[in-house]
Amino acid sequence: MIVAERKPMAEIIEMVKDCSRVLVLACRGCVTVCSAGGEREAAALASLIRLGMKKEGKTIQVIEGSLVRQCDKEYIDTIDEWKGQYDAIVSTACGVGVNFIANLRKETMVYPALNTTFFGGSAEQGIWTEQCAGCGNCVLHLTGGLCPVARCAKSLMNGPCGGSVGGRCEINKNTECIWQSIHDRLGSFGRQSQMEAIAPIRDWSTTGHGGPRKTVRADLMIS
Amino acid sequence: MSFEPKITLFSCHYASQQSCAEKGKELQQLGFPATITLVRVPCTGKVQVTTLLQAFEDGADGVYVVGCPVDGCHNVKGSVRAAKRVAAVKKALEELDVESGRIEMFHLPRGLHPEFVAAGVAMDKKIRTLGPSPFQS
């Protein structure tokens, strides 16, 4: 899922300080699962906006809504349900949702309530960890399913750096050295020798260094 | 003019049993502050962040939660969950540059005991010191 966390309230209050009516718009997709921007978090944010504005001596009307997702045109279209009831939207979706609203609602000012952080999973209740960098050139078949792009601090492609000590990363002792884990995991399958193959210089153009990326599936397109 | 705070207390049935004694009069007789409005809930674990924030929106100068002891919650982890939500609201208040002491969590034993009154007296004293809520327009 896409993992995110709420921006500091001071930042959000600064965004809406000149508004008299805002729509706090939750997303029932990834950010609901990571408890950053679902209906419950949007309700808390709406309350905090009202309180924050009141503290500044201003009044603001905050209404709440939610979309199934904010990354599909069909769902963005349903924002019409609140037509005429707000000056701006405060989206609790990830950055994709904010962009989609901006793309599709030319007349609507939209503000992000979250900082979108990474593609990750729930390590345990209340803790999410980064697992994928969306680099566009997956090497997981070579690394035992563990990603060196997202999970190595230096995104190294040919084994650990000299800072790996006792299976821990030099940037943070609480972070595993993913190359140690790749070695151990490949070893458990008797495939350590895979690590002897030298990975060529990586083409990072698929990672966004060639500009915004696009996926086209002609078989799914209508026109 | 002296400031009379408005304080909202969310307490579980078990920790606030005293509020029922003597047809609800015992708390007053023991000096429980009249500034406190008690909201009894089946378990403080059910009290959401939004509920706590709503109390401030409704005009509370201070809010506190009384739940079971950490290792003796009737619902095992309800009061621990409540404490985490209180902590989340404390952080949010700090982000709004408001004193985090306006909200507190207490873990108290069930039944008739002086600590329940003492917690109320302590909150009343603290909120009087902090003054009116900055959320009052």
State which amino acid sits at residue A160.
P
Round to whole Å and give the CA distance between B93 and B88. 9
Contacts of B116 (CB under 8 A, 6+ apart): B11, B15, B16, B18, B27, B32, B66, B108
Round to whole Å and give the CA distance between B120 and A115. 39
By C-alpha distance, which of B19, B100, B114 is closest to B62? B100
Domain edges within chain A: 2-118, 133-201
Please work out, in degrees rounded to the nearest 5, the angle formed at the alpha carbon of residue B134 by the alpha carbons of B133 and B137: 100
Listed by number, the residues of chain A in 112-131 with a beta carbon closer than 8 Å to a beta carbon of chain B are none
pLDDT digits (tens, 9 = 90+) for B10-64: 999 888 776 776 666 788 888 999 999 999 999 999 999 999 999 999 999 999 9
Contacts of B130 in chain A (CB under 8 A): none
B7-130: CATH topology:
Rossmann fold (3.40.50)
Contacts of B97 in chain A (CB under 8 A): 10, 55
State which amino acid sits at residue B45.
G
Q: What is the pTM of this model?
A: 0.93
- CATH for A2-118, among 3.30.450, 3.40.630, 3.40.50, 3.30.300? 3.40.50
Q: How far does the CA of residue A14 sit from the closest CA of chain B (Å)?
A: 11
pLDDT digits (tens, 9 = 90+) for A108-158: 999 999 999 999 999 999 999 999 999 999 999 999 999 999 999 999 999
**Cβ atoms of B134 and B101 closer than 8 Å:** no
Reported ipTM: the value is: 0.92
Asked whether the beta carbons of residue A51 and residue B96 sit closer than 8 angstroms, the reply is yes
CB-based contact, B130 to chain A, within 8 Å: no
Which of B53, B58, B130, B133 to mutate to probe the A interface, most A CBs <10 Å? B53
CB-based contact, B59 to chain A, within 8 Å: no
To the nearest 10 degrees (0 to 180), the angle between helices A9-16 and A39-55 is: 70
Structure tokens at A113: 């309530």
Structure tokens at A157: 């492609």
Reduced to 3 states, what is the DSSP secondary structure of residue A204? Answer: helix
